[in-house]
């Protein structure tokens, strides 16, 4: 996957050419991934955005499940979290 620094986004023609050639670009800031740009057809932009959102949601669920397996919460911690959320809702 091709990457491009945030500062290089000032060259839209180069960005467009890269997206057309590679289909996707990782945008970096200080050398670290910051965002992902995906080339789309005008007719398919809504569908692509919907799929990206679905993929991001699935990724978040997988990360949460992994964290839960690695460091499971105790019953007391779960009850405390539920109480805190319920208290916040009643305000």
Residue ranges of the domains in the chain? 1-39, 45-91
- Tell the residue number behind the tokens 């955005």, with chain if given: 49
Q: What is the pLDDT of residue 83?
A: 94
Task: Report yes or no: 27 and 15 within 8 Å, Cβ to Cβ.
Answer: no
Q: What is the pLDDT of residue 91?
A: 65
At 89, is the pLDDT very low, low, confident or very high (cuts 50, 70, 90)? confident
* Phi, psi angle pair for 71, to nearest 5°: -145, 75
5 pLDDT more than 80: yes
pTM greater than 0.85 (yes/no)? no
Q: 1-39 has which CATH code?
A: 3.40.1620
Task: Report yes or no: 1 and 24 within 8 Å, Cβ to Cβ.
Answer: yes
User: Which pLDDT tens digit goes with each residue over 23-82?
Assistant: 999 999 999 999 999 999 889 999 999 999 999 999 999 999 999 999 999 999 999 999
């Amino acid at each position: 996957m091709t990457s491009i620094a945030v500062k290089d986004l000032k060259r839209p023609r180069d960005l467009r050419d890269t997206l057309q050639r590679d289909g996707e670009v990782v945008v970096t800031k200080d050398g670290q991934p910051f965002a992902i740009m995906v080339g789309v057809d005008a007719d398919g932009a809504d569908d692509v955005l919907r799929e990206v959102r679905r993929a991001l949601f699935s990724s978040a669920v997988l990360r949460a499940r992994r964290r839960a397996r690695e460091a499971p919460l105790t019953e007391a911690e779960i009850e405390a979290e539920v109480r805190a959320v319920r208290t916040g809702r009643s305000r």
